[in-house]
């Protein structure tokens, strides 16, 4: 692997001084700061303070403050759902879903997307400077849960003066947050759209995450999490973690269709360990580009949050209890070829919602592109969300796209 | 990960001197030596010489030399199919299948099992001393293919004075070798049993292997493959590779049943990065014990051999051509929960065999234990093999177990 390049200690930056000016600490996006007097109480029992949450907004909040939609991002996502990511220079990660005239139409809705707690794009995370030392938290940051991420978002929504969200939408880990939002703040969520998600992380998924974490921790440049202070970065370990994860985001079919056994820029096997096959070259590229935009310790924290997620356990072992008396309308979505968050997990959520007599619709979408489908151009997903959002807007007495104001 | 223990450079040994006395170079098992005048012509075009193949035998070869069964082992298997592995001290890896009174009954059949070419238990591999330098080959060993492994076994069978094998049996990579045996030496294979195998390695499977190789190569102790000479070992990288692979050997169901979200020796989550979950502890254990018995460079070579396997390509892109006019009887087996070598791959083999008008039976066995099923106590597999072998013995005019001699 040729990931030996001097990659920055935090995305875009390298030394401790540079870190302070980096997107991890001083993001280009909006930021809500919470002082030492406004701590965030975490599931670990620790009160985090001061802390900050970096976010972007799109569209205009209406006078009644009833048209706000929170988008929750997945493992390595960020707040730049529909605008350029300042680290990569690439367009927003869900530009097909969110924007003017898009299924989540920013001409009509006020969209909020925040970087998750434990992330590395400006919300408090392991690269944040620990106020008691002046150096990055590293592993001294308390372990974060999905509920902690949602608590932080709720504080942001408070800060924005919004009482009730019109909708909360997200895929994968974002879908976990959607479920947690609905369970923790039922009166604040009018509509909820968990996509390709689950109410708990399975043993197999914990296993894949553990492989990634061990790959990072096996890198001697990880330095027990203190790599920023020591001026190095565990890029090789992080790249391996990303490669392992990336395989799980695609389906066997999509890999077969996209790459098959095709060779990379050669006519014959080379009888060596270079990337003979396109899939190898593709994976190496995925690993190498990932380390330029993501922080290794954040990867540990955010995967751990997913592992810890088990919504039923929070409600006495009963998932229906998590949604008791809910008035939220749910639209649950899964993809046929997603083996990481398979339809069976979404069905469990739907069963629990039905047991709680919730208003729920469920769509399993035909797609051969695996877990990544929620990020891709899958028309049936867009149509489903557009339809659901429009119906929910009518029920909420909001003018839906195409209707008179 | 606490795999920092000083593990031997080859299984059981550490220095170059020790290597010479190790199982990798001087195995406890039988060995057939081939001199510089008897090279092995490899698919890469290179002639390997001198070379050796380490093997074990069980039972007695009959006077007609018609009762020999070759067992082909999987990725990290060895020749100790039904006897104690001298490195681990553990019983043979297929003791449930092979032995007196077992489905492959060594009271009746003469069983041969050889360590594969590229392996680390005594057959020529990357830890073998390169005669031109006196140090281990490392990456100077030519890349090996499944066909090369089978060629080496055929030379061993020649050496034993056996013309036709009664059967060739193997699972996973062993099943690939079975298919290659039948295609390369149809007149020498009376019966063939490929289990949980495929006629080519899929893009997804190449991807998982590439993750493992990158984990090894990312370990600074790998030293471009020269770790033995330099007195170190890439144990962390190899452990990560094993962990990643191990997840793919089990099914989601079996992980759920065996571990679920159970905690390891604790009542509550610790909000840290220790192994809170049993599955994490289990995986770490798998990684750490593996490095004591396997060589990192061998892992590179043997995974590469699997990646390169594409039997149809060798026969003008037509899998039926691989079995044209074959008289071999085939018994193809797959397992319902095996997602690494799914039933669809076995069906492709069966379709090709049918297209070639071969004598083939196919059984998909109900098992929730994933790819590993072929190594486990799955009664339907044993019954199927016992029945098939007995039928084949009658057709071959061999006394089958339970019949008069």
pLDDT band per the 50, 70, 90 thresholds, residue B138: very high
Three-class DSSP labels, B313-353? HHCCCCHHHHCCCCCCEEEEEEECCCCCCCHHHHHHHHHHH
* Strand A165-171 versus strand A68-72 pairing type: parallel
Catalytic residue among B73, B201, B209, B371: B371
Cβ distance A214 to B339 less than 8 Å, yes or no, reads no
Within 8 A of B249 by CB-CB distance, chain A residues are: none
For B256, the closest of A203, A261, A284 (CB atoms) is: A203
Cβ distance A319 to A348 under 8 Å?
A: yes
Chain A environment of B243 (Cβ under 8 Å): 207, 210-211, 214
Compute the nearest-CA separation of B400 from chain A (Å): 42
CA distance A232 to chain B (A): 14
| pLDDT at site B107 | 97
Please give, rounded to a whole number of angstroms, the shortest distance from the CA of B47 to a CA of chain A: 14
A396 in Cβ contact with A108 (< 8 Å): no
CB contact under 8 A, A244 and B43: no
Please list every residue in chain B whose beta carbon sits closer than 8 Å to the beta carbon of residue A1.
214, 217-218
Q: What is the pLDDT of residues A168-182, one digit of tens each?
A: 999 999 999 999 999
Residue range A209-237: mean pLDDT, rounded: 97
Question: Measured between CB atoms, which of B201, B219, B260 is closest to A203?
Answer: B260
Note whether A210 contacts B243, CB cutoff 8 Å.
Answer: yes
Q: Which of B172, B184, B346, B367 is catalytic?
A: B172
Mean pLDDT confidence for A142-164: 98
**What number of CA atoms fall less than 13 Å from residue A102's CA on the CB side?**
18
B401 confidence band (pLDDT: 50, 70, 90): confident
Q: Do B256 and A202 touch (CB under 8 A)?
A: yes
C-alpha to C-alpha distance for B44 and B145, rounded to whole angstroms: 8
**Mean pLDDT, rounded, for B359-371:** 98
Please give the Cα distance from B157 to A141 (Å, whole number): 62
Q: Do A203 and B310 touch (CB under 8 A)?
A: no
Nearest by CB: B218 against A200, A240, A273? A240
Q: Which pLDDT belongs to residue B299?
A: 98
Nearest to B214 among A206, A240, A259 (CB): A240
How close A78 comes to chain B (CA, Å)? 23
The pLDDT of residue A256: 95
Minimum CA–CA partner of A258 in chain B:
B203
Whether B338 sits among the annotated catalytic residues: the reply is: yes
Can you tell me the distance from the alpha carbon of A174 to that of A77, in angstroms, rounded to the nearest whole number? Answer: 9
User: Over the range A305-330, which residues count as b (16 or more CB within 10 Å of their CB) and which as e?
Assistant: bbbbbbbbbbeeebbbbbbeebebbb
Instruction: Give the count of beta carbons closer than 10 Å to the beta carbon of residue B70.
Output: 28
Closest to B274 measured CA to CA, from A241, A308, A313 = A308
What chain A residue is nearest to B310 in terms of C-alpha separation? A261
What is the longest distance spanned by two Cα atoms in chain B?
Answer: 67
**Helix, strand, coil in percent for chain B, rounding step 5:** 35, 15, 45
Q: What is the CA radius of gyration of chain B?
A: 21
Query: B273 and A200 in contact by Cβ < 8 A?
Result: no
Residue with tokens 């001199």: B35
Put simply, the answer to whether B203 touches A308 (Cβ < 8 Å) is no
Q: Which two tokens stand for residue A278?
A: 């396109």
In chain B, the residue whose alpha carbon lies closest to the alpha carbon of A342 is B252
Q: pLDDT tens digits, residue range A93-136? A: 999 999 999 999 999 999 999 999 999 999 999 999 999 999 99
Closest to B203 (Cβ–Cβ): which among A276, A279, A339?
A: A279
| Tokens read off for B274 | 């220790």
Residues B215, A283: C-beta atoms closer than 8 Å: no
* Distance separating alpha carbons of residues A225 and A297, to the nearest angstrom: 6
Taking residues A343-360, what's their average pLDDT? 98
| A-chain residues near B47 (CB < 8 A) | none
Domains of chain B: 16-395 (3.40.50.1820)
Q: State the greatest distance between any 2 C-alpha atoms of chain A, in Å, as a whole number.
A: 67
* pLDDT over 60 at A231, yes or no: yes
Cβ–Cβ below 8 Å for B219 and A218: yes
pLDDT at A11 over 90: no
CB A371 within 8 A of CB A247: no
Average pLDDT over residues B87-105: 97
**Do B277 and A203 count as a contact with CB atoms less than 8 A apart?**
yes
Residue B115 tokens, joined? 């360590």
Cβ contact, residue pair B269, A142, below 8 Å: no
Helices (H), strands (E): how many in chain B?
Answer: 12, 12
Chain B contact set for A220 (CB, 8 A):
220
CB A212 within 8 A of CB A256: no
Residue A369, min C-alpha distance to chain B (Å): 13
Q: Output the average pLDDT for chain A.
A: 94
In the predicted structure, residue B405 carries a pLDDT above the cut 90: no
Q: Using 50, 70 and 90 to split pLDDT, how confident is the model at A17?
A: confident
Q: Which of A45, A244, A258, A303 to mutate to test the interface with B (most CBs of B within 10 A)?
A: A244
Share of chain B above pLDDT 90, in %: 93
| pLDDT value for A265 | 92
For residues B132-146, average pLDDT: 96
* ∠ Cα A115 A116 A122 (to 5°): 45
pLDDT tens track for A303-332:
999 999 999 999 999 999 999 999 999 999
Residues 6+ apart with CB under 8 A from B400: B108, B389, B390, B393, B394
How confident is the model at residue B365, as a pLDDT?
98
Contact residues on chain B for A143, CB-CB shorter than 8 A: 271-273
Catalytic residue, candidates B295, B307, B338, B372: B338
CB B236 to CB A218 under 8 A? yes
Catalytic residues of A: 172, 338, 371
Which positions in chain B touch A201 (Cβ < 8 Å)?
Answer: 261
Q: Which residue has the higher pLDDT, B375 or A21?
A: B375
Give the mean pLDDT of chain B.
Answer: 95
Q: B80 CA to chain A: closest CA distance, Å?
A: 29
* Beta carbons within 8 Å of B88's beta carbon, 6+ residues apart: B292, B293
Average pLDDT over residues A84-92: 97
* pLDDT band at residue B71 under the 50/70/90 scheme: very high
The mean pLDDT of B73-88, rounded to a whole number, is 97
The structure tokens listed for A181 are 């939002």
Q: Please state the ipTM of this predicted complex.
A: 0.94
What per-residue confidence (pLDDT) applies to A5?
Answer: 40
pLDDT number for residue B400 = 73
From A240, A269, A339, residue closest to B240, measured CB to CB: A240
From the list B214, B243, B255, the residue facing A203 with the nearest CB is B255
Q: Write down the pLDDT at residue B16.
A: 77
What confidence score (pLDDT) does residue B404 get? 54
> Per this entry, what is the length of chain B?
405
Question: Residue range A187-207: average pLDDT?
Answer: 98
Phi and psi at residue B219, in whole multiples of 5°?
-75, 120
Between CA B179 and CA B320 the distance in angstroms is: 12
Chain B residues in contact with A237 by the CB 8 A cut-off are: 218
Each residue of B259-289: pLDDT tens digit? 999 999 999 999 999 999 999 999 999 999 9
Average the pLDDT over A225-230 and give the result.
95
Residues 6+ positions from A68 with CB-CB distance below 8 Å? A61, A109, A110, A111, A112, A157, A160, A162, A165, A166
């Amino acid at each position: 692997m040729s990931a030996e390049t001097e990659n920055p200690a935090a995305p875009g930056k390298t030394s401790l001084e540079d870190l302070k000016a980096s997107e991890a600490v001083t993001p280009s996006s909006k930021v809500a700061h919470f002082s030492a007097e406004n701590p965030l109480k975490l599931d670990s029992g620790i009160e985090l303070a001061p802390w900050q949450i970096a976010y972007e907004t799109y569209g205009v909040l209406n006078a009644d403050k009833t048209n706000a939609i929170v988008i929750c991002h997945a493992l390595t996502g960020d707040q730049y759902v529909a605008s350029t990511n300042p680290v990569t220079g690439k367009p927003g990660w869900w530009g097909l879903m969110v924007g003017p005239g898009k299924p989540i139409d920013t001409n009509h809705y006020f969209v909020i997307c925040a970087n998750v707690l434990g992330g590395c794009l400006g919300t408090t995370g392991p690269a944040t400077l620990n106020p008691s030392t002046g150096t990055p938290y590293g592993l001294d940051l308390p372990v974060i849960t999905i509920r902690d991420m949602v608590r932080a978002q709720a504080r942001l929504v408070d800060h924005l003066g919004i009482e009730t969200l019109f909708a909360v939408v997200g895929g994968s880990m974002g879908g976990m947050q959607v479920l947690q939002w609905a369970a923790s703040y039922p009166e604040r969520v009018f509509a909820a759209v968990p996509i390709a998600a689950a109410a708990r992380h399975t043993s197999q998924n914990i296993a894949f995450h553990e492989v990634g974490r061990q790959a990072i921790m096996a890198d001697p440049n990880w330095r027990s999490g203190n790599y920023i202070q020591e001026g190095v970065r565990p890029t090789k370990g992080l790249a391996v973690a990303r490669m392992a994860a990336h395989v799980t985001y695609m389906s066997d079919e999509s890999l077969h269709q996209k790459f098959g056994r095709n060779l990379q820029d050669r006519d014959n096997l080379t009888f060596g360990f270079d990337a003979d096959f396109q899939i190898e070259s593709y994976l190496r590229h995925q690993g190498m580009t990932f380390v330029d935009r993501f922080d290794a310790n954040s990867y540990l924290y955010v995967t751990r949050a997913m592992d810890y997620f088990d919504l039923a356990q929070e409600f006495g072992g009963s998932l229906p209890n998590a949604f008791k008396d809910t008035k939220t309308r749910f639209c649950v979505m899964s993809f046929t070829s997603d083996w990481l968050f398979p339809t069976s997990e979404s069905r469990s959520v739907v069963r629990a919602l039905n047991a709680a007599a919730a208003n729920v619709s469920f769509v399993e979408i035909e797609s051969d592109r695996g877990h990544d489908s929620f990020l891709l151009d899958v028309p049936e997903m867009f149509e489903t969300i557009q339809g659901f959002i429009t119906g929910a807007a009518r029920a909420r007495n909001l003018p839906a796209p195409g209707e008179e104001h």
